């Protein structure tokens, strides 16, 4: 995930989602991921203190700053490029498993009170963001 001042997703020339300050979450789903993990991640992300308070300390959560989230499914996060010259994606969940779990994660994040936009699962997307900090956090549970 990346802390951003703004972010958007465009598919086939049409902007499908846009956020202001908050987080762009590039979400990979792997084998063994389930709804319990999605719930834990949504709760963690909503309350993770990575935004600055008035003293410049990272003491505030996405909920505290009333930030937004933009969730983009990205199976390429599971790329394994250790062997050969073409990455393997065998650790990524199949689309029929990943899609419902991405949808569940988005719903759970919204249930936490976070306004959440989303990309289009399986589509070729152009993702734009302005990283704030820069702050980029790899979160695995």
Q: Which residues contact 30 (CB under 8 A, 6 or more apart)?
A: 78, 91, 92, 93
76 is catalytic: yes
- Say which of 5, 76, 126, 136 is annotated catalytic: 76
**3-class secondary-structure state, position 101:** helix
CA atoms within 13 A on the CB side of 80: 7
Handedness of CA 40, 131, 88, 95 (dihedral sign): positive
- Say which of 2, 10, 74, 116 is annotated catalytic: 74
Residue 92 DSSP symbol: B
- Do 90 and 30 meet the contact criterion of CB atoms below 8 Å apart? no
Residue 93 DSSP symbol: P
Enzyme catalytic residues: 74-76
């Amino acid at each position: 995930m990346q802390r951003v001042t703004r972010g958007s997703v465009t598919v086939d020339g049409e902007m499908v989602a846009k956020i202001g300050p908050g987080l762009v979450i590039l979400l990979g789903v792997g084998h063994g991921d389930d709804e319990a993990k999605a719930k834990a991640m949504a709760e963690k992300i909503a309350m993770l203190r990575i935004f600055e308070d008035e003293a410049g300390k990272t003491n505030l959560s996405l909920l505290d700053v009333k930030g937004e989230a933009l969730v983009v499914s990205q199976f390429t996060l599971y790329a394994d490029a250790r062997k050969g010259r073409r990455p393997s994606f065998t650790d990524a969940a199949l689309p029929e498993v990943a899609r419902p779990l991405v949808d569940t994660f988005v719903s759970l994040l919204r249930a936490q009170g976070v306004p959440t936009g989303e990309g289009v699962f399986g589509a070729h997307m152009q993702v734009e963001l302005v990283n704030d900090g820069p702050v980029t956090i790899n979160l695995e549970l």
